[in-house]
Amino acid sequence: MEKLVISGPTSLKGEVEISGAKNAAVAILPAALLIDGVCTISNLPNISDVKLSCEILEALGAKIKWIDANTIEVDSRNITTTQAPLNLTSQFRASYYIIGAMLSRMGAVQVAMPGGCQLGARPIDQHIKGFEALGAEVVVEKGLINAKADKLIGGSVYMDIVSVGATINVMLSAVLAEGTTIIENAAKEPHIVDVANFLNTMGADIRGAGTDIIKINGVEKLTGDATYSVVPDQIEAGTFMLAAIASKGDVLIKNCITKHLESITRKIIEVGGQIEDFGDSLRVWCDERPKHATIKTLPYPGFPTDLQPQMGVVLSLADGTSIINESIWDSRFQYTDELNKMGAKINAQGTRAFFEGVDHLEGAPVYSTDLRAGAALIIAGLVAEGETEIYNLEHIDRGYENIEEKFRNLGAKIKRVEE
């Protein structure tokens, strides 16, 4: 078993280069199944969820050639089966994008119910509602999802809940459908725009991505023959920004889209951090103890739930009592038990947690309960006095490329050891 061992405290200083966005990459790869041709995807983060997505595509008949560590060529001309390997699709959440893509391209698909981080109930009713509005028949039975359609016809879908996954999935299913699909109350996250841009580059006709009404005019075929670069990861950028604040450091975050980071930037300024915006990079620093704050997670452009645990570390160390309301996931405060082992004083009750700020944390053995909780524990380990050991690294490896190396370049004393 591998663990991370961190010796703190360290004040992070230097520059970090942000990788391509995980949540865009794991949607763009299934989207490549829609192309009756060859495309090149670059700036892919080299993480286990991307490798898993590639394995699923290959099992369906696509051919994948790695050009370098972050670039692949996908040839989807010959899809050979509609049965996605159950052992792979059950391992992570984003495998649900195979449904929308395969329904559109092949008119049928069988996948396992998606796995992924345990953040509370993760229904897919809005995805299914969208597929059915386009004429698909979807049966969920014994942990399997079977979807088929003789012919998908564009339709109107009003999302009851703002869902990133459902918005992208219905968009995928509509690309090759006959006629026009309108998605209302759509999610607006940057990776939704990125998936739409990728598909449009390959010949799709999607308008309005990034607003709450998306219009997809079905096209007969996507031909590919183009290269697409995945958008920078705003959650990874936010993770390093919050690490800079928690550690009272001074970090230049390079290769990010600062517009995507506004909700985080505002909160960082509110807690006493400082930011210099260069458009495609941000200098983030903090000289004093952070101030307390109240935060509610919301769909984009609100404060992202995927940065809530990392912000929780900052607030654990803040001057005064802070409150976080988690409005997206029912069960996203599991990390607070681990932070309390390190000396934090957090009282989590359901979807709300109270953070009574302490002046320091102390190293302890802790367990990563999900991907972003793992990132939060790394930040806690960097600022804590003494040695922190972090277990369950598979969660962290799903979503962060070269995370130890990136933190080491900022002065952290962090190493991965086999126990």
Which residues form the interface with ligand UD1 (CB under 6 A)? 23, 26, 93-94, 121-127, 161, 163-166, 187, 305-306, 328-329
* Spatial contact of 348 and 316, defined as CB atoms under 8 Å apart: no
Minimum distance between the CB of residue 195 and ligand UD1, rounded to whole angstroms?
10
405 Cβ contact list (under 8 Å, min separation 6): none
Whose Cβ is closer to ligand UD1: residue 37's or residue 115's?
A: 115
Element housing 253 (H / E)? strand 250-254
* Spatial contact of 35 and 106, defined as CB atoms under 8 Å apart: no
Cα gap 3→394, rounded to integer Å: 10
Minimum distance between the CB of residue 166 and ligand UD1, rounded to whole angstroms?
5
Whose Cβ is closer to ligand UD1: residue 218's or residue 399's?
A: 399
3-state secondary structure of 11: coil
302 Cβ contact list (under 8 Å, min separation 6): 263, 296
Minimum distance between the CB of residue 122 and ligand UD1, rounded to whole angstroms?
5
Question: Which amino acid is residue 252, in one-letter code?
Answer: L
Whose Cβ is closer to ligand UD1: residue 95's or residue 281's?
A: 95
Cα gap 102→53, rounded to integer Å: 14
Minimum distance between the CB of residue 311 and ligand UD1, rounded to whole angstroms?
14
354 Cβ contact list (under 8 Å, min separation 6): 321, 322, 323, 346, 347, 348
117 is an active site residue: yes
Cα gap 317→142, rounded to integer Å: 45
Q: DSSP string covering 311-380, please?
A: HHHHHHTSBSEEEEE--S-TT--THHHHHHHTT-EEEEETTEEEEE--S--B--EEE--SHHHHHHHHHH
The gap between the terminal CA atoms of the chain, to the nearest Å, is 5
203 Cβ contact list (under 8 Å, min separation 6): 35, 219, 221, 222, 223, 224
Whose Cβ is closer to ligand UD1: residue 26's or residue 62's?
A: 26
> For ligand UD1, which residue has the nearest CB?
165
Cα gap 384→34, rounded to integer Å: 48
Whose Cβ is closer to ligand UD1: residue 162's or residue 251's?
A: 162
Minimum distance between the CB of residue 93 and ligand UD1, rounded to whole angstroms?
5
Beta strands in 127-233 (DSSP E): 137-141, 144-148, 156-158, 180-184, 205-207, 213-217, 222-229
One of 39, 117, 256, 286 is an active-site residue; which one? 117
Minimum distance between the CB of residue 232 and ligand UD1, rounded to whole angstroms?
15
For residue 190, what are its two tokens? 């940057």
Minimum distance between the CB of residue 313 and ligand UD1, rounded to whole angstroms?
18
Whose Cβ is closer to ligand UD1: residue 238's or residue 363's?
A: 238
Whose Cβ is closer to ligand UD1: residue 23's or residue 239's?
A: 23
Instruction: List residues with catalytic annotation.
Output: 117
